[in-house]
Structure 1
Amino acid sequence: MYFLALGVLLALLKALEMGPVAAWSWWWVLLPFGLAVLWWAWADSTGYTRRKAMEKMDKKRLDRINKQRDALGIKRRP
């Protein structure tokens, strides 16, 4: 996501010809977009994206269980 935001910012600066980015080659300006594609391809192929999604779901589940236990007055598990 950071590569994408950086790419949009650099492309905007290049298009508006602002700052030192105006003198850069378009290859350097568009490089963050390529890096974002590589990052997403790596994250999907290694299972990083799915693992993070599962961790998020597990945390929500535990939070929900602990909230219900608190409401019932049952001690939480560590």
Structure 2
Amino acid sequence: MWFVGLGVLLILLKLLGIGPVAAWAWWWVLSPFAGAVLWWAWADASGYTKRREMDKMDERKEARRQKAMNALGQGEKDRRR
């Protein structure tokens, strides 16, 4: 996502003629989009995005479990003897 944001910023700077970016060649300005494509290709091919998705799902599942246990009075913090 950082690559896309940087690419949009560079395009705006190029079109508005602001700073040194106005003098850069277009392929330099558009290169962050190529970086984004390479990043997404690597992340999908290596399973990085799937692992992050599964980790988030596990965290939500554990939070739901803890909430249910606390509602039943079985939570770790609520144990009384």
TM-score, length-normalised on structure 1? Answer: 0.93
Number of the residue aligned with 1:5: 5
In structure 1, the gaps of 5 or more residues are: none
Identity, in percent, stands at: 61
Q: Does 1:61 align with 2:61?
A: yes
Larger radius of gyration: 2
**How much has 1:24 moved relative to structure 2?**
0.9
Number of the residue aligned with 1:48: 48
What do you get for the CA RMSD once the two structures are aligned?
A: 0.8
* Residues 33-61 of structure 1, C-alpha deviations (whole Å, 9 max, x = no match): 00000000000000001010000001000
TM-score, length-normalised on structure 2? Answer: 0.90
Residue identity matched to 1:8: V
Q: Counterpart of 1:74 in 2: which secondary structure?
A: coil
Number of the residue aligned with 2:73: 73
Q: Counterpart of 1:20 in 2: which secondary structure?
A: helix
Q: Distance in 2 between matches of 1:9 and 1:66?
A: 43
Matched pairs, number: 76
1:24-39 matches, within 5 Å, as 24-39=24-39
